[in-house]
Structure 1
Amino acid sequence: MGIADKETRNVPTLASIAERVGVSVNTVSRALRAPNTVRVELRRRINAAMEELNYVPNRLAGGLSGTRSDIVGVVVTSLYYSEFASIVDTLQSGLLEQDLQVMLANTRYNPDQEVRLVRSILSWRPAAVAIIGVDHPPKVVELLKASGIPIIEMWDVGGEIIDTAVGMDHASIGAAQAAHLIAEGYARLAFVGSLRENDRRAQKRLRGAEAAVVAAGLPEIVRFTAQQNGSPDLGERLTHELLEQRPEVDAIVCNSDVVAFGALRALKRRGRRIPGEIGVIGFGDNEASSCVSPSLTTIRPDRERIGKLTAEAILARINDGAPKTTVVDWELIIRESTRRRDSQNQ
């Protein structure tokens, strides 16, 4: 049985809403198309039934519940500093070869917006949905599971998977960041940057770093974070605050490269020698990371590979391939900002 066949049996329809409320299909249809023609109390009951059954209206012409478009919904958490741009670009290239089009949505790490955007994308009856991360609001998980279409979660594999996932183990990345600093002789680490409630990947990297520090028998990691977009200005401000309150810190793990750029700027303004007195490591391998002075040690995700494998996973699932989880490798790029031993030998 193909995916399209399964959809007609599992996806809620106007008929299932009508049956739940005890009205005709025409009444439910009218409540959607012309809500003012249906009395308020009945509209509330219909809306409640749609919510309970995770029903999503069909925006395709003809209103055929089994119809699928040539759209693939792609949901990212940020377009800030183009963190996911190369993933989307590679993903789109792979899908275009099979005449599938990308519909892009940006949640801005807002859970309510994620619910609205996912519901809106599903109303276009996409062939599949690719979404950043594996940690979503419960209603998003319900909607995606009820859709009956392939769901590919990208960028992260550290959690419960809805269907198929292509991404990295972020806890191991955080552990590697800390382990590298420890190997270079740093002993009092801090985590600096944007740590939003809904950025689970950054939280996993922090937990991985904390575990590595505990395993090495070192003091616990100091946190200086904020609930806002990461930027050089944020990194600079938090680093100044960190050194004013915890001057003994000798290494900084940043949640992103752009935050690390600000940390480097703050350290220079305070006259701290990098990497002799203090080291800085980032995440993301921003294009400028090799150009700043000192050049930034960082983690390089294989964004293009994630995009390529996600496109392949979408096509495989559309053609009844089995769900699977693919862990994608990343690379530690060692540059001047942490090469303490090299600097001490000069």
Structure 2
Amino acid sequence: MANDSIPLSGRPAPTLASVAQRVGVSVNTVSRALRAPQTVRPELKRRIDAALEELNYVPNRLAGGLAGTRSNVVGVVVTSLFYSEFAAVVDTLQTQLLQHDLQVMLGNSRYDLQEEQRLVRALLSWRPAAMAIIGVDHHPGATDLLRASGVPTVEMWDICGEPIDSAVGMDHEAIGRAQAEHLIACGYRHLAFVGSVRAADTRARKRAGGAAAVIEAAGLSPLAVETSPEGGNPSLGERLLAALLAEHPEIDGIICNSDAVAYGVLRGLEAAGRRVPEDCGVIAFGDPEASAYMRPALTTVRPSRETIGRVSAETILARIAGEAPRRVSVDWSLQHRQSTRPARA
């Protein structure tokens, strides 16, 4: 296994020697830190890691004879496997790429930007044919690595930002605006945003921002916000609702960042004696199959997961073939069900 860096972009790449010089140790010590990190003193390992990041060093995991070519791997980094939010995207992406003898290598960052950077570095070390990554807001080091690599990169699920290369996804600010506009059209006037919003979940923040802008333009009271960095689940939704109503008993319309959170909100509203949709309307984002079978059935936004996976695969193949980067906005749909009133004429 070769341990030196791969010049993916055609530019001179940092080497073990340049990393060693930066730290003031031997090449063998840097090599050992990469191959057997447990054998290197923690303080020295931290200095070497810092130099690797500063120099955008990517080790070469391929055999020396293959170092000049790319593998048939497509590295994919998702932010969560919780409630299979991105399962259909990855499944469709993989199905399409397999038809062209490309294999998916998957990493889950768990909404941890440091982990995202580590995954990007690890996947690039396999000399991938392309990369796909959820979102357009990343750890700066991950962005630098992907830009410097020259590897075709498709950012999926979001297009609200400046892409590294290509992007295939949705406008989350527009989704937030549509959620708020729907509640207002149904006659709700005191709105809130409830859900799991982790530090790296910029997409949920964009939806909340879009909703807040609509509410302000309509001259209504500001959007109340009740969130937590915990992973989204029904129990969290029930707890957040209780805190929301304790501070804002006037709330009559709730935007949930996910359907899983909304399930708990619906249960909490029932326990509080609030009728849905008469006393309070609820709208969410995600639309797994269960949402249509809730009582009441949940109004929510349905992302086109399969379309994002298919178009991302097509974009990867086009970029590998030398075509120009793409930015593709994928449609989504608002499913109006029983958790919100009929829209007023």
TM-score (norm 1): 0.89
Residue correspondence of structure 1 range 139-178 to structure 2 within 5 A:
139-178=141-180
Q: How many Å separate the matches in 1 of 2:293 and 2:37?
A: 58
**1:294 alignment counterpart:** 296
**1:275 alignment counterpart:** 277
Q: How many Å separate the matches in 2 of 1:51 and 1:315?
A: 29
**1:102 alignment counterpart:** 104
Compute the displacement of 1:7 (Å). 2.8
Q: Which moved more, 1:27-36 or 1:211-220?
A: 27-36
Aligned partner of 1:197 among 178, 196, 199? 199
Unaligned runs of 5+ in 2: 1-5
Q: How many Å separate the matches in 2 of 1:197 and 1:47?
A: 23
Change in CA separation of 1:108 and 1:28 when aligned onto 2, cut-off 3 Å = closer
Is the Cα contact below 8 Å between 1:11 and 1:146 reproduced in 2? Answer: no
Q: How many Å separate the matches in 2 of 1:12 and 1:330?
A: 43
SS class of match (2:114) = helix
Change in CA separation of 1:12 and 1:237 when aligned onto 2, cut-off 3 Å = same
Compute the displacement of 1:53 (Å). 2.0
Identity %, equivalent residues: 63
Q: Which moved more, 1:169-178 or 1:113-122?
A: 113-122
Change in CA separation of 1:80 and 1:35 when aligned onto 2, cut-off 3 Å = closer
**2:135 alignment counterpart:** 133
**1:315 alignment counterpart:** 317
Compute the displacement of 1:9 (Å). 2.8
Q: How many Å separate the matches in 2 of 1:122 and 1:52?
A: 16
Q: How many Å separate the matches in 2 of 1:219 and 1:147?
A: 48
SS class of match (1:72) = strand
Is the Cα contact below 8 Å between 2:7 and 2:13 reproduced in 1? Answer: no
Aligned partner of 1:253 among 247, 252, 255? 255
Q: Deviations over 1:52-90 (max 9, x none)?
A: 220111111227543311111110000000000000000
**2:3 alignment counterpart:** none
Compute the displacement of 1:176 (Å). 0.2
Q: Deviations over 1:231-269 (max 9, x none)?
A: 011111111221222111000000001111110011111
**2:236 alignment counterpart:** 234
Aligned partner of 2:305 among 303, 306, 310? 303
Matched to 1:82, the amino acid is S
Is the Cα contact below 8 Å between 1:275 and 1:338 reproduced in 2? Answer: yes
Compute the displacement of 1:315 (Å). 0.7
Compute the displacement of 1:326 (Å). 0.6
Q: How many Å separate the matches in 2 of 1:97 and 1:337?
A: 42
Is the Cα contact below 8 Å between 2:7 and 2:149 reproduced in 1? Answer: no
Compute the displacement of 1:45 (Å). 7.8
Matched to 2:199, the amino acid is E
Compute the displacement of 1:142 (Å). 1.0
Compute the displacement of 1:138 (Å). 0.7
Q: Which moved more, 1:19-28 or 1:301-310?
A: 19-28
Q: After the TM superposition, which parts of structure 1 deviate over 3 Å for at least 4 consecutive aligned residues?
A: 10-50
**2:226 alignment counterpart:** 224
Q: Deviations over 1:194-217 (max 9, x none)?
A: 111110000000000000001111
Change in CA separation of 1:17 and 1:63 when aligned onto 2, cut-off 3 Å = farther
Q: How many Å separate the matches in 1 of 2:284 and 2:15?
A: 48
TM-score (norm 2): 0.90
**1:62 alignment counterpart:** 64
Compute the displacement of 1:313 (Å). 0.7
Is the Cα contact below 8 Å between 1:235 and 1:263 reproduced in 2? Answer: yes
Matched to 1:198, the amino acid is A
Is the Cα contact below 8 Å between 2:182 and 2:343 reproduced in 1? Answer: no
SS class of match (1:152) = strand
Number of matched pairs: 340
Q: Which moved more, 1:95-104 or 1:48-57?
A: 48-57
Compute the displacement of 1:15 (Å). 6.7
Task: Provide the alpha-carbon RMSD of the alignment.
Answer: 2.8
